[in-house]
Structure 1
Amino acid sequence: MKNITVVFLFFFTLLLSYHSHAQDILKSSDLSTVKVANLSDADIAKIKAQLQSNHMTIEQAEPMALSKGMSAAEFAKLKERLNSLSTGSLNNKAAGNTTGKTNNSGRVLDKIANNKVKDSVNAMIFGSELFDNPTLNFEPDSNLATPVNYILGPGDELQVSVYGVQEYNASIPVSVEGKISIQYVGEIAVSGMSIEAATQKIKAAIARVYSTVASGQSQVSVSLSRIRTISITIVGGKQPGNYSISSLATVYNALHLAGGPGKNGSYRNIELIRNNKVYKYVDIYRFLVKGDQSDNVTLKENDVIRIPVYTQRVTVTGEVKRPGIFEMKKGETFSDLLRFASGFNEFAYTASVNVTQKTGKEFKVKDISEKEFSSYQPQAGDVFRITKILNRFENRIKIEGAVFRPDYYSYSEGMRVSDLIQRAEGLKEDAYTKRARIIRLQSDLTTEIVTVDLAAVLAGDRTADIALKREDEVTIYSVLDFKEDYKVTIDGEVKNPGEYDYVDNLSLNDLIVQVGGLTGSASKRVEIARMIKSDERDDNDPKRVELIALEITADNNEQAKNFVLQPFDVINIRRMAVYEKPQMVKVSGAVVYPGKYVLANKKESVYNVVMRAGGLTSVANIEGMKILRPIKQEQIDDIESIDLNLSKNDTLKEKLTKKLKEEAKFAVIPLDWEKIEKNKEHYSNVTLFPEDEIVVSTFNEGVKVSGNVLLNSEIPYRKSKGLNYYLNAVGGVNSKGWKKKAYVIYPNGKADVTSSFLFFKSYPKVTPDSQIVVPEKPERKRMSTGEWVSIGSVFSSLALLIITAFK
C-alpha cells in the first residue's frame, strides 16, 4: 500500500512538470491532460531520479498512471523517453560539443576530452607511454558512491528526497553564495562542508518543518546529483594551461589531460601547489613500478600542478627487460635503476655492467661489478650498456655415436670416459669396442684427437680410462659405420623393377616376392650378372662380369633351387618370346559393318580388314578412302631433338611442335581402293598399325571452295569443268587471294597445287567431294621514297663511271 501511495504521488508530481517547477507538481491530481512531448529533458531526468529514489521501475508505475487518467499512448511515449535517457541519448549534443554525461546513477559529470598524439620525441623516456594512451585517462568513476569527505561548493547539485508518510523530492543546486533552498524549509549553507556533514545539517533542518521526519515516520535522503567543475593550472606539461575539470578529478587525471611532462619535464618531483604552498610532491615512478597511487590525490579549486625540469637522467640499453631513459633522484643506486628497468633479461651478463660517463671535457668508461650495484649512484648523462653472456659453457661435455643416450652432459672434475658412458646409459649392441675418439679443445683453442682403447676401458683398465676435460667430444663408433651399403638390381618382367638393399642370405625368391612378383609376360629364363672380384689383374680375360643363367617357374614366382644372391648382382627376368595382347583398328564410314576389329596377324592389310567389315556400301566413295594414324609421342620427341639450324628469334620449330601436339593429332595416309582391288600387293594396301582408323567417305557430288574467295560455298560437281569454273561460281578471288597458289584437297587426303611453265599454268584436277583452297597473298613491304632515291643514286653513279671509262 505504501508503494502505491508513493507511485501515485510521484506521477501526480510528474505530469504537470512542464507547467511549473518540480517543487509545485505535488498539487496536481489529474494526469489526463499530460503531453509527454511537452516535457523537457530535465523533467524526464527528474522522473527517473524519483523512480530510483523510491526503488521502482517504470513498469511498476504503469497501472497507477493509467488509473489517474494518462492514456496508454502517452505512457508509451514516457517509457520510450526514459529508456533513451538510460542509454545516454539525453543531453547529447553534436560531436565534440558534449559538456556533460549522465551515468546509471543519474549523477551528471562534466565530460572532459583531450585528443592524444603519440609522442615520438620522448618515446624512450620511462613513463611517457602513460600519457600517450587515450584509453588510460584516470577519469573519476561517477558510478561510485560519493566520498564522505567530498567538500561541497557552488555548482554542485543535491538530490533531496523525503519519503514515508510525507513526500518530497527535488534537485537543488548550491548557489554562488554556498547555500541551497528547500521549499518550506528555507536556505541552508553547505559550501565548504563535507557531503556527510551537509546531510546531517539538511536532515535537521527538514525535521523542524516535517513533523513525521522528527518522529521517524518519514526518512530523508541526500545525494549528489551533479558535480561541479573546478579550475586548475598546469605548468611544465606538453600542453600547459588552465583546465576546467570535475571536482572529483585527481592529479594523474590532470596530468593526462596536459599530455604529461614536457620534453625536459620531471617525472619524479612534480609539485601540487595549494594555497600558494607545495601540498604534495608527486613521483610517477611509484605508480609505474609499484602500482602505488598514494600520490594521486583529489584536486581542489585553483590548484596548481607544476612540473619542474628534471635533475638527472640516465640511459639503459642492452639486455634488460625495459631499456630506455630513466630519471634518477639523489641517493638512488644502480639497483634502483635496475628495478625501474624491470631487471636483467635471460641473456644478460650480470657479473658487471659497463657505463659511459661524462666529464667536463670528454667521456670515460667505468665497469661496475655486481657487488657495487647497491652502492653506485648513477650520475647525469650515464649510459649503461648491458651485454649478452658468452656463447660458451663452463662445464659442458658431449658424447655421440653408439650409446643409448647421445647428448651433452655436465662435466665435473676427475670425470673419466667410463663415467660419461654410464651417464649415457651404456653402449649399444653395435658399438665398435676397439677404438673410440675424443676431440679436445686445447688452451690455444686448437683441437686435437685423443684415441681411446674402449675394450680396455670396459675391462676396467684405469690407464686406458682417460680423464676428460671441459668441452671434450667423445665419439663411440658403430660397426655399421664401416659396412658398405650393398645393393642389388632387378629388371625385366617384374611388378616393381629397380634397385634394392642387399642383406645377408638374400635369395632370388626373396627378392622376387619383395618386388611384388612376376608379371604375366615373364618367361622362365633368368639372367644374373655378377661382378668379378680378384686381387690380381688378368688382361687376357676379356670378361667384365660373370653371367649366370637360371630357370624359374613363372606361375608361382619360385625356382626349384633357392639361389643366393651377392652384393651388386643384376637380375633380368626375360619376357616370353610370344606374348602380345590383341590390338585393334577401327573402320568407319561407308562400310557394311563399321566398328573396331582386332589385328589377326602381324601384317594385317587394309583390304583384309575392309573385307572383314563386309566391304564397301553402294554409297562409298572409292576415291575418298584414307587411314588416320595417331601421331606418337616418339615422333614429337624426334622433331624436338632435330637441330634445324634456325636463328634464335625463329619460332618455326616451336610452332611445328605445338601443331603436332594440339592440332594435327593424326597423320593421313591416302588409299587407292581401285588399285588395291586389282593388285593386293599394291603399295596402297598398307599394313595396319594398332589404333589406325580406316575412313571410307560417302560419295558427295559437291565441291567445296574456301579461303580467300568472295563466297565460301559448295558447288555441284561437273565433270568437264576445271578449277576456274568453281572459282568463278563463288564470285572469284578477293583482293587478298593468291590464285596461282590455289590447291585442291582430294577426299582421300591427297592434295595438288597449281603449277606453271613459262607463260602456261596448269591447274589441278577437280573431283567430286574435293575442296579448293585459295591461300592469302604474303605481305610485301613497299620501298620508301628514300630507298628509291638511294637506288637511283647508285644507278647514276654507275652510269657516270661507265661514261668516264669509255672516254
Structure 2
Amino acid sequence: MKKVTYVLLLLFALTMSLSVKAQDIMKSKDLSTVNVDYLSDDDLAKISAQLKSNNATIDQVEPMALSKGMSQANFNKLKIKLNEYAKKNANPSENVEKVEKGEKKSDSGRKQDAIKNVKVKDSANAIIFGSELFDNPTLNFEPDLKMATPMNYVLGPGDEIQVTVYGVQEYNGTLPVSVEGKISIEYVGQIAVSGMTIEAATQKIKAAIAKVYSTVRSGQSQVSVSLGKIRTIKITVVGGKQPGNYSLSSLATVYNALHLAGGPGKNGSYRNIELIRNNKVYKNIDIYRFLVKGDQSDNVSLKENDVIRIPAYTQRVTVEGEVKRPGVFEMKKGETFADLLGFASGFNEFAYTASVNVVQKTGKEFKVHDINESEFKTYQPQSGDVFRVTRILNRFENRIKIEGAVFRPDYYSFTEGMRVSDLITRAEGLKEDAYSKRARIIRLKTDLTTEIVNVNLEAALSGDLSADIELKREDIVTVYSILDFREEYKVIIDGEVKNPGEYEYYENLTLNDLVVQVGGLTGSASKRVEIARMVKSDEIDDADPKRVELVELEITADNNEQVKNFILKPFDVINIRRMAVYEKPQMVTISGAVSYPGKYVLANKKETVYNVVMRAGGLTSIANLDGMKIKRPIKEEQIETLERIDLNLDKSDTLKGKLAKKLKEDLKFATIPVNWEKIVKNKNHFSNVTLFPGDEIEVAVYNEGVKVTGNVLLTSEIPYRSGKGFKYYLNAVGGVDNKGWKRKSYIIYPNGKADVTTSFLFFRSYPKVEPDSQIVVPEKPERKKMTAGEWVGIGSVISSLALLILTAFK
C-alpha cells in the first residue's frame, strides 16, 4: 500500500504542476484542482514511466486519487489520455507479446480474446465435395472486428460498451457488462443491458443519461454508444472431425465454428447440419447452398451454449470422368441427376452427353444402368451410385480434308453430294504449280480399310461429271505439285570464300552469282578456280576412267565480279584455291631478365631462340644462364591424337582420360629446356630450337636459393652452398616425413629440365644440385596389406614347390 501511495503522489505531482503554479504538490493533500485537459505528452510520458517503474497500473491508484479529492470524471479523462498515449507510442514487440498472451485487437480499437485452434489435414475426405472448404486455412470465416456493430447484436456479461457524451457537457467511459448484466455510469447509476440488442440498449442508456445531463435532454449534447471489447461465448460441435467445446467471439457464425471443428467427420452430413438452441433445432444448414450458389443465409450468428450437431449422411453418390468437378457428392431426397450435375459444375468440353452410365448396388450385387439425356431431370440417384461420364469419340461425323497445291489446304465440313470441284472451290482454287493430270483420294471404306481413288483433275474442273467424283466423309484429297517431281539441285563451293557450303541451284546460275551469294572472296584467294562437274551418259565407256569432268578457270582474285562469267550446272563443286604464299605475321613472347621483354614477330621461318634473345637486347646482368626455357602451347590436335591412340588398357582404367584432362586443364604448355651457354658457343647447338607462333621464352632471374617441397617436414628455400649435395638440403628442412618416398626424389632445374635419384644394388646416386633448382619428395604409394588367407596361400605354394624340388632330386 505504501508503494501505491508513493506512485499516486508522484503521479499527481506532475499533473498539478500545470494548474497549481509550481507549488509543492508533494505536500498537498487536495487533488480537486487538478486539470487533466492541460497535460502534455511529456507529462503523460513521465506518469507512464513512473507507473511502470513501480509495477502499478492507473486502475490501482484510482481509490487513492478519489479519496484525495479528484473527481471521477477527471480521473476517467486521465485514464483515457494515458491509454491513448500508450496506443500512440506502442512498441511493436509489446503488441506481439499481447497477442501471444491471448489479446487480439483490430484497427478500429475493438478488442477480443484470441482464439487458438490447431487444424488437422484430413486426407480421407479429400474427394468429398465441400471438404476443401474446411481444409483451407485462408477460409476461416472469422468475424471482422472493424465492421460496424450489428444492431441486432445481443449484449451479455463480458462485453464492453463505450459511452461518450459530447457537446456542452462531456463524458467518456468504457463500461464493462458485469456478471449481473449491468453497466455502471457515474452519477447515472447502474443500467441492466444483458439480453438486450445493442440498439435497444443504446436507447435505454440515452434515456438514463438524459435524466442526469440536462443538456442531453435539451439536445445541446449528444450521446454515442458503441461496442468496445467483445465477449467470448462457448459453443459445442458434435459430429465434426474435431468435436468438442469451442470458445468463439460473440460475433462468430456457424461456418466459423464448423471451420474450427474441421467440418463434418468421415461420415458426417454436409447438407443436414442442425443448429440447436435452447434444446430445439433452430436452423438446418445445407453447406451446398453456399458452395454452389454462394448463399450465406444458413451462416447465422451463434449464441452462448449453442450446439452444432452434424448427423451421419443419408446418401452419397460418386461422379467420375468428364465433368468439371469429379468427386463424392451428398444428395437429398427428391434431387435428380440434373441437380447432381450442377454440383459437379456440369460436363467438361470432352464429355459424351447423350447418355451417362451408372453402376448401382442391389441387395446382392451390382448392376449397370444407362441414363439418357431425356432422363437427366427425372432420374433420382440412389445411395452408392457411381456415375461414369465417358469421353466423346476421337472421330468426326462430317470431316473432309484437302492438301497439296491449293491455296487453303485444311479440313472442311462435308455435305452429301459434295464433289471434288466443290472442295477445290472451297479451298480457293489450285495454285499455279498444281499438277492437273492427276489427283488422289484416300478413302476410308466401311470395314475401316483404306483405298486410293485417282482423279483426272483437269477433266473434273472442266465439268466432266464422270471425272468429278462424289466425295465421302473422311476423304483426303491430295493435289500434287509439279515441283514435287523435280529433283532438288544443289551446288557446293569451297575454299577461299567467306561462307563456303552447299547452296540451292537455280537455272542460269553463274559463278559470279554464287560468289556474291556466299559473301565474296577472301583476301587469300588465288586466281585459280577448279570446277568438278558430274559426267552423264547413257552408255558405259570402260576406256574412259574419268569420274568427273574438271574445268579450270582463272579469275581476278581481288574482284568478285568476273569479266568472263561461267554458267554453272547442277551438282557442280567449285574450289577457289589459296595463294601459294599468304601468311599473316605471327608472334612469340619473351619475358624475364632481358633488356626489352615483350612480343616479337617471327621474321623468318627459321627464327631461333638466339635471334629473338638478341632482338630483345640480350640477357641482363641478373639473368640466370641456366634458367632459360621455352613454354610451347599444347595444341588441340595433339590432345585429339592422344585420345585416338589405343593404349590397350582395361575398360575400367581411367589413365587415358586422366592424361587428356591433365593436358587440357593443368599443363596447357610443354616446357623445352634451353642451354644458353652452349648456344652462345655454337649457334647450331640443338638447344637453339626454331620457334613456333605462340611460344614464350622465359629467362629466369638468378636466385641463390634451393626450394625443397613435397613430403618433407618443412617446405622451405635453403641458400645454395657450392659443393653441398642432395642430402644436405633434405636434412636442412628436417628430412622427409612418414609419407615421403626418398628414393624417388627428383630435382627440377631452372630451365625446366629434371633429374631423378637412381639406385644400384645398395648404392643410391642423387642428382646434382644447382642454384634456383627445386627438390621434390613425392608421396609413397598406398600398399594393400596382405590378409591372413593370402599369406596362407603363399605358404602353401612355397611348400608345394619345395616338395616338388625334393622329389625331383631323389
TM-score (norm 2): 0.73
Instruction: Select the residue among 772, 790, 793 that pairs with 2:799.
Output: 793
Report the AA paired with residue 801 of structure 1: T
- Following superposition, the deviation at residue 200 of structure 1 comes to 3.5
* CA distance in 2 between partners of 1:220 and 1:626 (Å): 104
Instruction: Select the residue among 75, 78, 85 that pairs with 1:80.
Output: 85
Report the AA paired with residue 534 of structure 1: S
- Following superposition, the deviation at residue 197 of structure 1 comes to 3.6
Does structure 1 conserve the Cα–Cα contact (< 8 Å) formed by 2:594 and 2:699? no
Equivalence map 1:316-465=2 (5 Å): 316-465=319-468
Report the AA paired with residue 353 of structure 1: V
* CA distance in 2 between partners of 1:88 and 1:629 (Å): 69
Does structure 1 conserve the Cα–Cα contact (< 8 Å) formed by 2:323 and 2:344? yes
- Following superposition, the deviation at residue 361 of structure 1 comes to 0.3
Does structure 2 conserve the Cα–Cα contact (< 8 Å) formed by 1:441 and 1:472? yes
Residue matched to 2:670: 665
Report sequence identity in percent: 62
Q: Is the partner of 2:514 in helix, strand or coil?
A: helix
With over 3 angstroms needed to count, the CA separation of the structure-2 counterparts of 1:429 and 1:152, relative to structure 1, is same
* CA distance in 1 between partners of 2:220 and 2:613 (Å): 128
Equivalence map 1:699-738=2 (5 Å): none
Equivalence map 1:526-605=2 (5 Å): 526-576=529-579
* CA distance in 1 between partners of 2:365 and 2:485 (Å): 66
Is 1:116 aligned to residue 138 of structure 2?
no
Report the AA paired with residue 458 of structure 1: L
Equivalence map 1:101-500=2 (5 Å): 101-103=104-106, 106-174=109-177, 178-180=181-183, 182=185, 184-185=187-188, 188-500=191-503
With over 3 angstroms needed to count, the CA separation of the structure-2 counterparts of 1:243 and 1:786, relative to structure 1, is closer
- Following superposition, the deviation at residue 329 of structure 1 comes to 1.0
Further displaced range: 176-185 or 547-556: 176-185
Residue matched to 2:517: 514
- Following superposition, the deviation at residue 426 of structure 1 comes to 2.4
Report the AA paired with residue 291 of structure 2: L
Equivalence map 1:760-775=2 (5 Å): none
Deviations 1:318-359 (A, max 9, x none): 222222211111111011111111111222221111111110
Does structure 2 conserve the Cα–Cα contact (< 8 Å) formed by 1:629 and 1:666? yes
* CA distance in 1 between partners of 2:186 and 2:808 (Å): 138
Q: Is the partner of 1:665 in helix, strand or coil?
A: strand
Does structure 1 conserve the Cα–Cα contact (< 8 Å) formed by 2:163 and 2:226? yes
Further displaced range: 405-414 or 627-636: 627-636
Q: Is the partner of 2:368 in helix, strand or coil?
A: strand
Residue matched to 1:55: none
* CA distance in 1 between partners of 2:144 and 2:528 (Å): 98
With over 3 angstroms needed to count, the CA separation of the structure-2 counterparts of 1:181 and 1:435, relative to structure 1, is same
Report the AA paired with residue 80 of structure 1: Y
- Following superposition, the deviation at residue 360 of structure 1 comes to 0.3
Does structure 1 conserve the Cα–Cα contact (< 8 Å) formed by 2:238 and 2:310? yes
* CA distance in 2 between partners of 1:767 and 1:137 (Å): 86
With over 3 angstroms needed to count, the CA separation of the structure-2 counterparts of 1:791 and 1:563, relative to structure 1, is same
With over 3 angstroms needed to count, the CA separation of the structure-2 counterparts of 1:42 and 1:142, relative to structure 1, is farther
- Following superposition, the deviation at residue 127 of structure 1 comes to 1.8
- Following superposition, the deviation at residue 596 of structure 1 comes to 6.0
Does structure 2 conserve the Cα–Cα contact (< 8 Å) formed by 1:752 and 1:764? yes
Does structure 1 conserve the Cα–Cα contact (< 8 Å) formed by 2:631 and 2:698? no
Deviations 1:738-794 (A, max 9, x none): 79x9999999999999999xx9x9x99999999999999999999997698568635
Q: Is the partner of 1:80 in helix, strand or coil?
A: helix
Report the AA paired with residue 83 of structure 1: K
Further displaced range: 345-354 or 81-90: 81-90
Does structure 2 conserve the Cα–Cα contact (< 8 Å) formed by 1:629 and 1:669? no
* CA distance in 2 between partners of 1:194 and 1:765 (Å): 110
Q: CA RMSD in A?
A: 5.8
* CA distance in 2 between partners of 1:644 and 1:254 (Å): 79
With over 3 angstroms needed to count, the CA separation of the structure-2 counterparts of 1:377 and 1:524, relative to structure 1, is same
Does structure 1 conserve the Cα–Cα contact (< 8 Å) formed by 2:602 and 2:693? no
Does structure 1 conserve the Cα–Cα contact (< 8 Å) formed by 2:321 and 2:390? yes
Does structure 1 conserve the Cα–Cα contact (< 8 Å) formed by 2:318 and 2:386? yes
* CA distance in 1 between partners of 2:752 and 2:105 (Å): 98
* CA distance in 2 between partners of 1:158 and 1:575 (Å): 103
- Following superposition, the deviation at residue 529 of structure 1 comes to 2.2
Deviations 1:210-242 (A, max 9, x none): 444443344444444454554444333333344
Further displaced range: 165-174 or 110-119: 165-174
Further displaced range: 730-739 or 455-464: 730-739
With over 3 angstroms needed to count, the CA separation of the structure-2 counterparts of 1:124 and 1:227, relative to structure 1, is same
- Following superposition, the deviation at residue 373 of structure 1 comes to 0.5
Does structure 1 conserve the Cα–Cα contact (< 8 Å) formed by 2:492 and 2:571? yes
Further displaced range: 200-209 or 283-292: 200-209
5+ long unaligned stretches in structure 1: 1-10, 16-24, 47-67, 718-724
- Following superposition, the deviation at residue 368 of structure 1 comes to 0.7
- Following superposition, the deviation at residue 543 of structure 1 comes to 2.3
Does structure 2 conserve the Cα–Cα contact (< 8 Å) formed by 1:607 and 1:676? no
With over 3 angstroms needed to count, the CA separation of the structure-2 counterparts of 1:89 and 1:484, relative to structure 1, is same
Further displaced range: 766-775 or 655-664: 766-775
Residue matched to 2:12: none
* CA distance in 1 between partners of 2:91 and 2:594 (Å): 94
Q: Is the partner of 2:118 in helix, strand or coil?
A: coil
Equivalence map 1:80-99=2 (5 Å): 80-83=85-88, 93=98, 95=100, 98=102
Q: Is the partner of 1:122 in helix, strand or coil?
A: coil
- Following superposition, the deviation at residue 430 of structure 1 comes to 2.0
Further displaced range: 348-357 or 83-92: 83-92
Deviations 1:663-683 (A, max 9, x none): 763667989779979xxxx99
* CA distance in 2 between partners of 1:676 and 1:707 (Å): 36
With over 3 angstroms needed to count, the CA separation of the structure-2 counterparts of 1:164 and 1:431, relative to structure 1, is same
With over 3 angstroms needed to count, the CA separation of the structure-2 counterparts of 1:593 and 1:183, relative to structure 1, is closer
* CA distance in 1 between partners of 2:430 and 2:695 (Å): 73
Does structure 1 conserve the Cα–Cα contact (< 8 Å) formed by 2:528 and 2:554? yes
- Following superposition, the deviation at residue 267 of structure 1 comes to 1.9
* CA distance in 2 between partners of 1:278 and 1:544 (Å): 105
With over 3 angstroms needed to count, the CA separation of the structure-2 counterparts of 1:214 and 1:444, relative to structure 1, is same
- Following superposition, the deviation at residue 312 of structure 1 comes to 1.0
Deviations 1:91-120 (A, max 9, x none): 97573x52x645455555454433222222
Does structure 1 conserve the Cα–Cα contact (< 8 Å) formed by 2:270 and 2:288? yes
With over 3 angstroms needed to count, the CA separation of the structure-2 counterparts of 1:257 and 1:541, relative to structure 1, is closer
Report the AA paired with residue 423 of structure 2: L
- Following superposition, the deviation at residue 367 of structure 1 comes to 0.9
TM-score (norm 1): 0.73
With over 3 angstroms needed to count, the CA separation of the structure-2 counterparts of 1:162 and 1:457, relative to structure 1, is same
